[in-house]
Amino acid sequence: MDPRYARAYPQLYARHWWWRVREQILVRKVETLLSGSRDARILDVGCGAGLLFDALEAFGHVEGVEADAAAVSRSGRWRERISVGNLDDEFAPAGPYDLILMLDVLEHIAGPGHVLRRAGHLLRPNGRILITVPAFTWLWTSHDEINHHVTRYSAAELRALVAASGLVTLESQYLFQSLVAAKLFVRALEAISSAAPRVPGIPPAPLNAMIQTWFCGEHALLGWLPFGTSTLAIAAAG
């Protein structure tokens, strides 16, 4: 992640409509996957400063692994729960997990199959992996560049990656359907402009709240549509 983006990220996560909608969707999905459990073991891969931990702790014991030591240093009360490093053979947790989160992680990794395979080995029987990635390479913009993305995934491409990693996709869907038009508009503007990538800003509070309400409603009513700007999948050991 670009250092400018990294500095802005905590405020974006706390206030920007996109992150607020995303967290609502994810927490509801976690609650469904864990069937209301309050003692699950959860691992958040690429957790940054553990910004999702406050919401996840309602479901049980939360841990994280993060390669960026600077991000971990800003994690406050969660610092002791986060291992600095990668999800590889050197990561040795105390036990297996009921749920492993990989939220906008795989798109940063060239050849991410080894990370998925390692996650599969760390699951309890009937454990699940919750994955999100940005959708469709034809939606690539400077936002991907400032985030140091390697690629974007369609649902079919993500399912193929999961299968090649020895896992099974139980479900997949797209998120933020109506944002596709805005992304295509930005892509068109960038095709005729040489402006440098910019860190996103937070809209004025009333507009921010209005957009947040729109996308929450959209997900509830139109989440089945076969397109969007993010792809979500649930995987399990094969």
Q: What share of the chain is helix, strand, coil (3-state, %, to 5)?
A: 45, 20, 35
Query: Are 107 and 89 spatial neighbours (Cβ–Cβ below 8 Å)?
Result: no
pLDDT at 6: 83
Structure tokens at 69: 């030591």
Q: 127-149, pLDDT tens digit by residue?
A: 999 999 999 999 999 999 999 99
pLDDT at 166: 97
> Dihedral of the CA atoms 59, 60, 64, 70 (nearest 10)?
80
Nearest residue to 128 via CA among 31, 23, 9? 31
Q: Residue 201 and residue 77: Cα distance in Å, rounded?
A: 27
pLDDT at 175: 98
pLDDT at 198: 85
Q: What angle do CA 188, 112, 81 make, to 5 degrees?
A: 105
For residue 81, CA distances in Å to 63, 66, 70, 77, 127 come to 5, 11, 15, 9, 20
Which residue numbers in the chain have pLDDT < 50?
Answer: none
pLDDT at 165: 97
Query: Which domains, ranges and CATH numbers included, belong to the chain?
Result: 3-237 (3.40.50.150)
Residue 12, amino acid? L
pLDDT at 183: 96
pLDDT at 115: 97
End-to-end CA distance of the chain: 32
Structure tokens at 205: 């509070």
Query: Are 82 and 47 spatial neighbours (Cβ–Cβ below 8 Å)?
Result: yes
pLDDT at 225: 97
DSSP secondary structure of 108-162: GSSSTHHHHHHHHHTEEEEEEEEEEEE--GGG--HHHHHTT------HHHHHHHH
Tell me the pTM: 0.96
